[in-house]
Structure formats: C-alpha cells, structure tokens
Chain A
Amino acid sequence: MKPELTEEKVIAIMDGYGRSSQQLIAILLDIQEASGQNYIDETWAALAAQVLGVPLAKIYEIITFYSMFSTSPRGRHIVEVCRSAPCEFKGAALLLGNLEELLGIKVGETSQDGLFTLKTGECCGACDKSSIFKIDEDEYGAADFDQKSLAGLFNSKRQESEAL
C-alpha cells in the first residue's frame, strides 16, 4: 500500500521545521519521501510556496537544481548505482548490468510493480567499499553480494513494502 500524501501531512512536515523557509531543502526532501513515489508533485510545491511565503518559481528552481529531487513520479525505492571514477573502475558497469537484469528494467526506468526506480548517480562517499549501489539511504558494496544474495536483498525490500 502506497502512503497517500494529504494537505494535512504536508503542512505537518512544514510545521515540524517551524515553517522556516531556510529549511526548504529538508522540507522538500521530507515531502518527497512521504509521497511514496519519490517525487514532489506540483500541488505540494504550490502548497509549500503558499505556506512558507516562497514564490513557486524559486521552489521549482530548487527542485530542478538538486539531483535528489524529481518532479515526476518514481518508484517507491530509488536504486542508485554510483558511476563516479572510483566506483566505475571497480565494476560499476557490471553491477548496473546485473541490477538491470535482476529488476527487469533499464537504467532510468521504474519496475512494473512501481517499487524500484533504477538510476545512476555520482559519488556518495563510500568509495572504500566500491563499487557502490544504494537503495534509498542504505549503501551496499557490490563485492559483498553474489547473484543469490543480491536477489535476496531486493526480495526482502519487496516484502517490506508489501507489508505496509
């Protein structure tokens, strides 16, 4: 079950930061997370604009400037493969290929069940365990997985989501 975002929930998020426009980025990250689809719909951006007293144009600039935001719906979980130099030459391409096969999608796409969006990203600061992939906030080193355990990891994520 996907969590539904309501006006009350969004306002509650903003209240949690004291409606401070300085904390706009953290507010938007929380709204995005609470959306269940890892994106910020125009409705919520407009509401944030109204409540925080920041023009919608500025909020849109922020959402499109920072890589972590999206203006269109994505999967429940973001699966990100690091393609920066330290990871690239420790098997990032191979890892990406494996994940594409495992999830049945190409990079940039979202799985049929709407659970996983596969993307690439830049360095997330875990280069000693490269090559790295992330599922949301959790980092994993490719070297710690084989085919079986990788599939297992995603299966347990699937089960977690379905339990909600």
Chain B
Amino acid sequence: MAKTLKLVSLGAGEIDPISVSEYRGIGGYRALEKAFSMRPKEIIGEVLEAKLLGRGGAAYPAGKKWAQLYDIHETPKYIVCNADEGEPGTFKDRLIMEKLPLRLIEGMTIAGLVFGSEHGYIYVRGEYRKIQKVLLRAIEAAKKENLLGKGIMGSSFSFDIEIVSGAGAYVCGENSALLNSTEGRVGRPRIKPPHLAEVGLFLMPTLVNNVESLASIPSIVVMGGKEYLSLGHPDSGGTKLVCLSGRVTSPGVYEVPLGKVSLRDLIFDEEFGGGIQGEGEFKFVHLGGQSGAIASKALLDTVYSYSDLRKVGLTVGSGALVVMDSGVSILEYLKKVSEFFVHESCGKCVPCRQGNRVLLKFLARLSRGSLASEGELLNLKRLISAMSRASFCGLGQTSATALKSAWKAFPAELERPAAFDKLQVGAFPLP
C-alpha cells in the first residue's frame, strides 16, 4: 500500500530543475496564476485553513504568521526564505532547491504578492554554494519568462529574489540570527520582542519561512486549504518531507502525509527505511534534529503527526529521523550531540556557552568509565533546567533535550557506561 504522497517533491528528479516549461508541465505556476485572482486575505485564509505548520522545525502555524504580518502596516516588507538547513540528519530543503527550485520561487512570489513585497531573499547556508548557483540559474530562467522581476505575468506586481550566503554557522538557522547574517553581519540572535514581523530585515516587517513551508504554498493555493488539511492530520494538514539517515537500509527523503504513517512504518517499511541495515537491531531514533528527543522502541508505534508525537514528548522538528541500532552506545551518541552544540553555540550567553561545555565534559567523563555521583547528577539536573529556562535563544534552550529524553529511556546505560561495548568511537579532540 503506497503511503507516500508527493506534493512538495512532485517532479523531483523527473524534470530539468531550471526549465520553466517543464515545471509548468507538472502543474507549476498554476498557483501563482490563481493567486492573482485572489485577494491577499483569501490566500492567507487558505494557508490558515490548511494548518500548515512551519516545516523548518519550530512548527509555528504559517497562516498565523502570515496573518500577523499582514496586519502590520509598514513598508517595505521583505520575504525571507530560511534555507540554512544546518540540522544534522536533515537534507530535504536541498532536494527542493536542487531539483525543484522553481516551486520554491513560486511559493515566495505568492508570498510577495500577498504582502505587497518587492524583495525576497533566500539565505542559503555556505556549505550549499553549489546549490546557490542552481538557484541563481532558476531565478534567471524565471525572470526570462516574466515570472520574476518587473511586471510579473504582465501585472503591476514586481518581485525579485536575491541569494544570500551563509558561511558555516548552525545558529544562523534561528530566524533572527539569520536576518543578522542576511544583513552581512555576525549571525547571533536578536533580543525579542520586538518580533521579526515588526522589526525584521533592515528593521522592516519581514516574513521568514522555511524552504519546505514556502514550497508547500503552491499546493495549498491550487487545491485550497480545506483539501490540503484533509490530506494530512486534523491538527496539521498536508505532507512532510521526512529525512531518514543512520543505520537504515534505505536512507533518503520521503514525503508522507501527516498522521497517516507511524514511526515503525517509516523505519521498517520497504517503501521507506527498509529496516536496519546489517545484523543489528533497532535501538533508538533521534527525531527532529539535534535538539529533539530520543525515542526507544517503546514508542515505535506512535503516529507521525505533530500532535501525536508531542503527546509522547517527541517532535517532528525538521523531519529528521536519525536511526541507530544496537551497535551504538547511547552515551557516545549523546556525546556527539553535545559536541555539536558546543561547536555551534554562538558564544554570547553564559548558560549556553559555558553550560554546554559542562555537559560535554560530563559525558566525556562518563564515556571514559567513571560513574556520576548523586550530587553531580543533581547539579547537572539544575544546570539543564537553567539552560532550558535562561538561555538567550532556542539553541541553548533545547541543547539538553536529547540528554534528558535519553536519560529516561536508557537509564541503565547512562549510569553504567563502562559495561557497554563501544563501537565507532573516534578520538574527537575536545575543543
């Protein structure tokens, strides 16, 4: 039984990414045409009804974001696409940008139309420099067909898109840090409020949405919000690009309707992950990104939807599913996660900069065989709580989530690490 549903990835690998005619051939630009005949409030209404939740990780209702920005009466407004995709285990936005850039461009153009914005920016991580070039060519192709630039489709609406590059900083995936970086500055997050809808790019009202979110807009406009909602889950409509990686047989990007498959389906079904590669047995899956919670096999039957996952303390996040088998020590895995946060912390606030290093040192000590004393565990609990409550931004606030969830799911292993057979341990020098 086919469980995939292709909306946002429809045509990937089948059409020439920068051919407008081939994109039109699979239904491209019907949405923009339709959007011209709709009023902005109508379009926003469809997005609201579709219950499109932000696909980058924060899962903020896109319709709500659009409605908030619409109510702000200041110009110019900017449309910014978050294509930073720095979350380990996530490689879905690149699929859209590499194979279906025109769908992203179409989505952004519709957003521009809704808000009367003339300028869009796609902030692409520095590691995707090759993909930036594909996007540039797609923009040129669209311009040639009057689908970007002045007088789009012969109307009075003008919209152009500029590519801005990152240079290697996961924290720039945080929207306010991303805007700072887009302005050509250091990418550290801003104090909020004021929120980005009021004070965004160049201090003007700004919409920041993830690649997948913007690329989902054309589907919503064409089929209407109601149908988009019905394809998914009552709390969140449509489909999600899921990224399977780790010790599965068939890693890759899969588009699934929300609420219609379970974690077990995604990991073991032949249509998706195809089960664990090699001899091992499934042990845990890390969902949503490095800041997501870890699920043991007890939670495998959870339905993959925002609300079902949230009920058991898990997140959809970016859509990443990093699968590990019995050959992987949970402690070593958590150490890796901790190293990541230490490396990617922007460094400006005390709880995150100093706290993440304390966590890493603790995990490193455990992995060398020492045991944690009760006093130490108590201090750590205090620290994790302080980090999650007092850090400046989401990075610091969620950096200990994986550790917390793993503690609950694998208490024995974290308390007796020396007894465990460690595989795949590289000597990673502490920074």
Residues of A within 8 A of B (CB): 20-26, 28-29, 54, 58, 61-62, 65-69, 83-86, 88-94, 96, 120-130, 137-138
Which of B129, B184, B186, B336 meets A137, CB within 8 Å?
A: B129
The answer for the CA separation of A90 and B278 in the assembled complex, in Å, is 12
Which of A25, A92, A123 meets B165, CB within 8 Å?
A: A25
Number of A-B contacts (CB under 8 A): 144
10 closest A-B pairs by beta carbon, nearest first, are A93-B426, A67-B168, A66-B167, A123-B88, A127-B245, A68-B168, A128-B251, A24-B184, A84-B88, A68-B167
Would you mind naming 21 contact pairs between A and B with Cβ atoms under 8 Å apart?
A20-B184, A24-B185, A25-B167, A62-B167, A65-B169, A65-B187, A66-B167, A66-B168, A68-B127, A83-B426, A84-B89, A84-B340, A86-B322, A88-B336, A89-B332, A120-B428, A123-B88, A123-B89, A127-B89, A127-B90, A137-B130
The residue of chain B having its C-beta at the shortest distance from the C-beta of A24 within the complex is: B184
Whether A85 pairs with B252 at a CB distance below 8 angstroms is: no
B91 adjacent to chain A (CB < 8 Å): yes
Tell me how far the C-beta of A141 lies from the nearest C-beta in chain B, rounded to whole angstroms.
10
The residue of chain A having its C-beta at the shortest distance from the C-beta of B334 within the complex is: A85
Residues of B near A65 (CB, < 8 A) are 169, 186-188, 346
Whether B424 pairs with A93 at a CB distance below 8 angstroms is: yes
B328 adjacent to chain A (CB < 8 Å): yes
The answer for the CA separation of A67 and B87 in the assembled complex, in Å, is 15
B343 adjacent to chain A (CB < 8 Å): yes
Between A61, A84, A85, A129, the greatest number of chain B beta carbons within 10 A of the residue's beta carbon is seen for A85
Which of B126, B128, B333 meets A89, CB within 8 Å?
A: B333
The residue of chain B having its C-beta at the shortest distance from the C-beta of A124 within the complex is: B127
Whether A128 pairs with B252 at a CB distance below 8 angstroms is: yes
The answer for the CA separation of A121 and B88 in the assembled complex, in Å, is 11
B164 adjacent to chain A (CB < 8 Å): yes
Between A29, A88, A138, the greatest number of chain B beta carbons within 10 A of the residue's beta carbon is seen for A88
B344 adjacent to chain A (CB < 8 Å): yes
Tell me how far the C-beta of A54 lies from the nearest C-beta in chain B, rounded to whole angstroms.
8
Whether B170 pairs with A88 at a CB distance below 8 angstroms is: no
Q: Chain B 122-166 against A: per-residue CB contact (8 Å), 1 yes, 0 no?
A: 000111111000000000000000000000000000000000111
Residues of B near A124 (CB, < 8 A) are 127
Known: A89-B333, A127-B91, A128-B252. A67 touches B340 (CB 8 A): no
Residues of A near B94 (CB, < 8 A) are 125
The answer for the CA separation of A150 and B250 in the assembled complex, in Å, is 24
B181 adjacent to chain A (CB < 8 Å): yes
Tell me how far the C-beta of B206 lies from the nearest C-beta in chain A, rounded to whole angstroms.
14
Residues of A near B168 (CB, < 8 A) are 66-69, 121
Which of A22, A68, A86, A90 meets B88, CB within 8 Å?
A: A86
Whether B247 pairs with A90 at a CB distance below 8 angstroms is: yes
Whether A89 pairs with B247 at a CB distance below 8 angstroms is: yes
Whether A25 pairs with B244 at a CB distance below 8 angstroms is: no
Interface size on B, residues (CB 8 A): 58
Q: Chain B 241-266 against A: per-residue CB contact (8 Å), 1 yes, 0 no?
A: 00111110001110000000000000
Whether B187 pairs with A66 at a CB distance below 8 angstroms is: yes
The answer for the CA separation of A120 and B127 in the assembled complex, in Å, is 14
B286 adjacent to chain A (CB < 8 Å): yes
B324 adjacent to chain A (CB < 8 Å): yes
Known: A21-B184, A84-B340, A130-B245. A89 touches B167 (CB 8 A): no
The answer for the CA separation of A99 and B129 in the assembled complex, in Å, is 24
Residues of B near A68 (CB, < 8 A) are 126-127, 167-168
Tell me how far the C-beta of B47 lies from the nearest C-beta in chain A, rounded to whole angstroms.
27
Tell me which residues from 161 to 216 in chain B have a Cβ below 8 Å from any Cβ of chain A.
Answer: 164-170, 181-188
Which of A22, A67, A84, A96 meets B336, CB within 8 Å?
A: A84
B290 adjacent to chain A (CB < 8 Å): yes
Known: A85-B340, A125-B85. 19 other contacts (CB 8 A): A25-B126, A65-B188, A68-B127, A83-B336, A83-B426, A85-B336, A86-B88, A88-B336, A89-B324, A90-B246, A93-B425, A120-B428, A121-B168, A123-B90, A125-B86, A125-B93, A127-B91, A127-B246, A137-B130
Residues of A near B127 (CB, < 8 A) are 68, 124-125
Tell me how far the C-beta of A95 lies from the nearest C-beta in chain B, rounded to whole angstroms.
9
The residue of chain A having its C-beta at the shortest distance from the C-beta of B169 within the complex is: A66
Residues of A near B336 (CB, < 8 A) are 83-85, 88-89
B337 adjacent to chain A (CB < 8 Å): yes
Which of B89, B125, B183, B185 meets A85, CB within 8 Å?
A: B89
The answer for the CA separation of A86 and B320 in the assembled complex, in Å, is 10
Tell me how far the C-beta of A6 lies from the nearest C-beta in chain B, rounded to whole angstroms.
23
Whether B243 pairs with A128 at a CB distance below 8 angstroms is: yes
Whether A29 pairs with B340 at a CB distance below 8 angstroms is: no
Residues of A near B243 (CB, < 8 A) are 127-128
Whether B89 pairs with A22 at a CB distance below 8 angstroms is: no
The answer for the CA separation of A124 and B183 in the assembled complex, in Å, is 23
The answer for the CA separation of A20 and B314 in the assembled complex, in Å, is 43
The answer for the CA separation of A29 and B333 in the assembled complex, in Å, is 33
Residues of A near B253 (CB, < 8 A) are 128
